[in-house]
Structure 1
Amino acid sequence: MYKPIYLFIGLRYLWNSRLTSFKKIITVLSIIGISIGILSIIITLSLVNGFQNEFKKNILSFIPHLIITNKNYYINESDFPKDILKLQNIQKVSSFISSKVLIKNKKNIGIGEIVAFKENNYNFFRNYNIKNILYTLNSQENNIIIGKQLAKKLNINVNDLIKLIVFPNSKKNLLTKKFNEKIFKVTGFFSTNNEIDNYQILINTQIALNFLHYYNNYVTGWRIWLKDPFSFNINIFETKKNNLLFLDWQLKQGELFKAVQIERYITLLFFISILLVVGLNVVITLTVNMIEKKNIIAILQTQGLCRKKIMLIFITLGSSTTVIGNLLGTLISFVLILQKNFLNLLTNIFFNDISIPIEIFPFQIFLINIIFISISILSTLYPIWSITKSTPSKILSNE
């Protein structure tokens, strides 16, 4: 005798040589529907992960995720709030000197932002790809390195002399206070393929202190990079605490952040919709099977098969369909993801020259499969309970 009996009977109901062509088609379509659902979810999540990774890499790696300063943007380094270091999300912290400036050369005028470079702190500028010219930013010469797009916009070349003008921080002194201005030599360009190429200017820290009339122990504030900027909530701080201001990256990249948030909500809605479709698919398929086999259920009960084992038969039938669909959908999605050219080909039908960033998280795939299987098992409980609550005599009385 086959053991366990409920597993053997459940799999026999799923597929055997005596099934009619119509029932085989229904079973195959059910599996295909679940496969398409799981495939769509995995590919969509992989695309969302890829886009978020590109967002972090290309944008959030260059701008600080949190800035701590005061209303004057001029603060003593000893005022740094050390309790911020207790956050587990902190990746690196650095003081910085920065200011908006007016850029003037022979023919053009533009606006940029100077960022001070510390000679012993090359790691913060490794993504700028300017290691071979960083030595020019020394404390003895008024040299600067500017973004390639900014240089192109103002028609600036290497070794050109340009004038930088700093505006007063206070609006009250805008007309009365003399502007700081100085001539600088452009010793090179940086290109990060990021928006900072359009406005940022690198300058030596000591030169910046003299240019901005800062005392040696004063800075503009502190820049903080986080391990996961998406999980950071600025509301855990008071926006003004001890005369300090906490400014997060969402203020500067608000529109992009909203786009990422909308992307997340759409993915969640899509995931819930697929779950509902799969659940309804299992319920309908299983209900039809059970109505058809209600007489067999009654006969099994009269032969001594308990209600629990009868329920396990149909749980096996419903969950096996989902398991097969999940495995098939996961396998196909992996093949499609690994063959990026195929996905790019499909995308280029609607959009031209778009490279699709894809990133797979195995834990996400495992969790998706577990959720789908759990939903399918839960979907079987009501139709099973409703059909097995009837007594064999009541079912067979109509025969």
Structure 2
Amino acid sequence: MYKPIYIFIGLRYFWNRHLTNFKKIITILSIIGISIGITSIIITMSLVYGFQNEFKKSVLSFIPHLIITNKSYYINKSEFPKNILKLKNVKRVSSFISDKVLIQSKENITTGEIITFDKKDYNIFKCYNIHNYLYTLNEKQNNIILGKKLAEKLHVNINDSIKLIILPKIKKNFFKKKFNTRIFKITGLFNTNNDIDDYQIIINTKIAINFLNYYKNYITGWRVWLKDPFFLNINSFQIKKNNLIFLDWKTQQGELFKAIQIEKYIMFLFFVLILLIVGINIVITLTVNMIEKQNIIAILQTQGLCRKKIMLIFVTLGASTTIIGIFLGTLISFILIFQGKIINFLINTLFSDIDIPIKIFPFQILIVDITFAMISVASTLYPIWHITKSTPSKILSYE
């Protein structure tokens, strides 16, 4: 005797050699439908998170996730809100001095932004790949390191000299006040393939304080880096000090952030729609199966098989289809993702010269698989309950 009997019967109903070709085709199509749904969700999710991960590396590695300053962008170090250090998401905090400047070379003139470097800031500038040049930013020489695109715009290179000009902050003094100018030597170039290559200039902190006429202990503000910038809740950083303002990275990269959010909403809608389709697919398949087998169900009831075990027979039938579909869908999606050329080829048939980053998160894929399994099993309950509520005498009365 096979035990438990309901699993044995459920698996026999799922597949055996006596099934008609039509029933085999229906079963195979149900498995294929679930597989395609799982594959689509996993690949879409991996593409979205791959883009998000690439965005963190290529953009958010080079800009602070939060800037704390005041309305004049000139603040005393003693006003630092120490409560921020207690927040879990905070990774690193660093004071900085920054200002907009005019940059003049022999052949061109443009605008840029100076950002200060101190010995304690080596980790911040690690992603710039300029560790061979940072030692040149000492306190005695007017040396600078600037972006490669900015250098190309100015037609300058390493060891060339350029003039930096500080503009008056008050508009009415623009023509009255003498501009603060100084000649600097270029000792290095950085190329991050990011927007900062177009405008950023790195300069020693003490040289910048002297050049910008900052008072002792005064800075532009504090840069804050987070463990996960996408979980930035600006309200958690608000401090009850009217003179402080908080500028998050979304203000600088607003359009890209909106694009990422829209992608997430589309992915969620896609996920819900596929779940709905899979659920309907399971309900229809099981309903057809049970209508056909209602006489057998009635006979099993007369032989003493309780309603609960009869329900478990069809849960086994629905779960078998779902589990095989989930397994195949997950396997196919992993093959397509690890063989990235296939996905890029399919994408490039519509969009040329686009390299899509893909990132797999195994835990989230596990959550997707479990959710699909639970929804699919839940979709079997109503048709099972509807068929088994009829009494055997009523079902067999016309036989």
TM value normalised by structure 1 = 0.97
The alignment partner of 2:132 has SS state of coil
Query: Deviation of residue 235 (structure 1)?
Result: 2.7
The alignment partner of 2:73 has SS state of coil
Rounded to whole Å, the distance in 1 between the matches of 2:172 and 2:358 is: 51
Match of 2:340 in 1: 340
Match of 2:104 in 1: 104
The alignment partner of 2:123 has SS state of helix
Rounded to whole Å, the distance in 1 between the matches of 2:309 and 2:316 is: 10
Rounded to whole Å, the distance in 2 between the matches of 1:176 and 1:283 is: 81
Query: Deviation of residue 243 (structure 1)?
Result: 0.7
Match of 1:393 in 2: 393
Query: Are the equivalent residues in 2 in contact too, given 1:145–1:186 (CA < 8 A)?
Result: yes
Query: Deviation of residue 315 (structure 1)?
Result: 0.7
Match of 1:258 in 2: 258
Rounded to whole Å, the distance in 1 between the matches of 2:170 and 2:389 is: 80
Query: Deviation of residue 237 (structure 1)?
Result: 3.9
Q: Which amino acid aligns with 1:299?
A: I
Query: Deviation of residue 107 (structure 1)?
Result: 2.4
The answer to which of 10-19 and 347-356 deviates more is 347-356
Rounded to whole Å, the distance in 1 between the matches of 2:384 and 2:174 is: 79
Matched, 1:40 2:33: no
RMSD over aligned CA atoms reads 1.3
Name stretches of at least 5 consecutive residues in structure 2 with no aligned partner. Answer: none
Query: Deviation of residue 349 (structure 1)?
Result: 1.4
Match of 2:168 in 1: 168
Query: Are the equivalent residues in 2 in contact too, given 1:239–1:245 (CA < 8 A)?
Result: no
Query: Deviation of residue 172 (structure 1)?
Result: 4.8
The answer to which of 256-265 and 119-128 deviates more is 119-128
Name stretches of at least 5 consecutive residues in structure 1 with no aligned partner. Answer: none
- Residues 239-285 of structure 1 show CA distances to partners (whole Å, capped at 9, x for unaligned) of 88341011100000000000000010011011111100110110000
Query: Deviation of residue 76 (structure 1)?
Result: 0.9
Match of 1:140 in 2: 140
Match of 1:27 in 2: 27
Query: Are the equivalent residues in 2 in contact too, given 1:239–1:246 (CA < 8 A)?
Result: no
Q: Which amino acid aligns with 2:162?
A: I
Match of 2:181 in 1: 181
Query: Are the equivalent residues in 2 in contact too, given 1:6–1:310 (CA < 8 A)?
Result: yes
Match of 1:159 in 2: 159
Rounded to whole Å, the distance in 1 between the matches of 2:107 and 2:159 is: 16
Match of 2:7 in 1: 7
Match of 1:85 in 2: 85
Rounded to whole Å, the distance in 2 between the matches of 1:382 and 1:178 is: 82
Query: Deviation of residue 128 (structure 1)?
Result: 1.0
Q: Which amino acid aligns with 1:220?
A: T
Rounded to whole Å, the distance in 2 between the matches of 1:212 and 1:380 is: 72
Query: Are the equivalent residues in 2 in contact too, given 1:93–1:223 (CA < 8 A)?
Result: yes
Matched, 1:213 2:213: yes
Rounded to whole Å, the distance in 2 between the matches of 1:167 and 1:395 is: 92
Rounded to whole Å, the distance in 1 between the matches of 2:239 and 2:357 is: 35
1:240–1:113: structure 2 CA closer, same or farther, 3 Å change rule?
farther
Query: Deviation of residue 175 (structure 1)?
Result: 4.1
Query: Deviation of residue 396 (structure 1)?
Result: 1.0
Rounded to whole Å, the distance in 1 between the matches of 2:71 and 2:263 is: 34
The answer to which of 239-248 and 216-225 deviates more is 239-248
Matched, 1:233 2:257: no
Rounded to whole Å, the distance in 2 between the matches of 1:225 and 1:108 is: 35
Query: Deviation of residue 182 (structure 1)?
Result: 1.2
Query: Deviation of residue 178 (structure 1)?
Result: 3.3
Rounded to whole Å, the distance in 2 between the matches of 1:227 and 1:386 is: 51
Rounded to whole Å, the distance in 2 between the matches of 1:174 and 1:87 is: 42
Rounded to whole Å, the distance in 1 between the matches of 2:191 and 2:239 is: 34
Query: Are the equivalent residues in 1 in contact too, given 2:84–2:237 (CA < 8 A)?
Result: no
Match of 1:224 in 2: 224
Query: Are the equivalent residues in 2 in contact too, given 1:142–1:184 (CA < 8 A)?
Result: yes
Rounded to whole Å, the distance in 2 between the matches of 1:152 and 1:233 is: 38
Rounded to whole Å, the distance in 2 between the matches of 1:121 and 1:64 is: 13
Matched, 1:68 2:68: yes
Q: Which amino acid aligns with 1:285?
A: T
Query: Are the equivalent residues in 2 in contact too, given 1:290–1:384 (CA < 8 A)?
Result: yes
Query: Deviation of residue 397 (structure 1)?
Result: 1.3
Rounded to whole Å, the distance in 2 between the matches of 1:89 and 1:142 is: 37
Rounded to whole Å, the distance in 2 between the matches of 1:398 and 1:139 is: 101
Q: Which amino acid aligns with 2:321?
A: T
Rounded to whole Å, the distance in 2 between the matches of 1:269 and 1:174 is: 54
Match of 2:327 in 1: 327
Query: Deviation of residue 158 (structure 1)?
Result: 2.0
Query: Are the equivalent residues in 1 in contact too, given 2:81–2:239 (CA < 8 A)?
Result: no
* Mapping 1:126-137, distance limit 5 Å: 126-137=126-137
Rounded to whole Å, the distance in 2 between the matches of 1:365 and 1:357 is: 17
- Residues 74-122 of structure 1 show CA distances to partners (whole Å, capped at 9, x for unaligned) of 1111110000111100111100110011111222111100001113432
Query: Deviation of residue 386 (structure 1)?
Result: 0.7
The answer to which of 334-343 and 36-45 deviates more is 334-343
Match of 1:314 in 2: 314
Rounded to whole Å, the distance in 2 between the matches of 1:134 and 1:337 is: 39
Paired residues in the alignment total: 399
- Residues 170-192 of structure 1 show CA distances to partners (whole Å, capped at 9, x for unaligned) of 44544444332211111221111
Match of 2:94 in 1: 94
Query: Deviation of residue 322 (structure 1)?
Result: 0.4
Rounded to whole Å, the distance in 1 between the matches of 2:168 and 2:285 is: 73
Query: Are the equivalent residues in 2 in contact too, given 1:115–1:201 (CA < 8 A)?
Result: yes
Query: Are the equivalent residues in 2 in contact too, given 1:146–1:189 (CA < 8 A)?
Result: yes
Match of 1:204 in 2: 204
- Residues 321-369 of structure 1 show CA distances to partners (whole Å, capped at 9, x for unaligned) of 0011001111111111111122222222122222221111111111011
